[in-house]
Amino acid sequence: MTIKPSEKHNIAAFGAGCFWGVEFYFQKMKGVINVESGYTGGNIDNPTYEEVCSGTTEHAEAVKITYDPAVVSYENLVKYFFEIHDFEQLNRQGPDVGTQYRSVIFYANTDQEIIAKKIISELNNKGYKVATSLEKYEVFWKAEKYHQNYYKKTGSMPYCHSYKRIF
C-alpha cells in the first residue's frame, strides 16, 4: 500500500476534512486519473472508519490521487488542495472536528515536501494563517467501499468543502 508511481503517473496524498468532499473536487481536475478515499498518518494497520472517527488512531481521512504529471503538476495539485478547503482551521473542517479531519499534505519525497513548503510560504506571505501540517507519507489504507465515490453515488454535494480561488 505504499506510493509507487508508474512510469507515466504519479501519486499525491492529502487530508482536508471529510474525504468525500476532497475526493469530489479532485475527481473534477484535469490530469487526475483516480482518487481513492482512505486513511493515512496513523498508528494502526488497516483501520476502520469507526476506529478513525474515534480519534485514537492518529489517522487522517485522506485521499490518494493518481495523476498524469504531463497534464497537471504536483504544484497545481497542492494549490488546488488549498482552494477546496479551509486550511486555516486546526483539526476540523466545518462541523467535522478532530485530528482525523486535519489539513495535511502527506509528502512522498523531498520534491513534494519542497513544493508544499513553497506554497505554504506563499500563503503565509498573502496573510493566511496556515494550519496545514506536512507529514511523511508512509502507508495509505483504502476506506470501505461505501466511502468511495460517495457524492457520485448519492447525487449530493459536499457539505464542508467549496472552491475558492486563491492562486
| Residue 48 · residue 153 · CB < 8 Å | no
Q: Grid coordinates standing for 62? A: 485522506
Which residue among the candidates 12, 13, 18, 160 is catalytic per the annotation?
Answer: 18
What's phi and psi for 154, nearest 5 deg? -90, -15
Could you confirm whether 18 is annotated as catalytic? yes
Q: Grid coordinates standing for 107? A: 509528502
Q: Grid coordinates standing for 24? A: 469530489
Distance separating alpha carbons of residues 5 and 17, to the nearest angstrom:
25
- Beta 92-93 vs 96-97: how paired, if at all? antiparallel
Residues with catalytic roles:
18
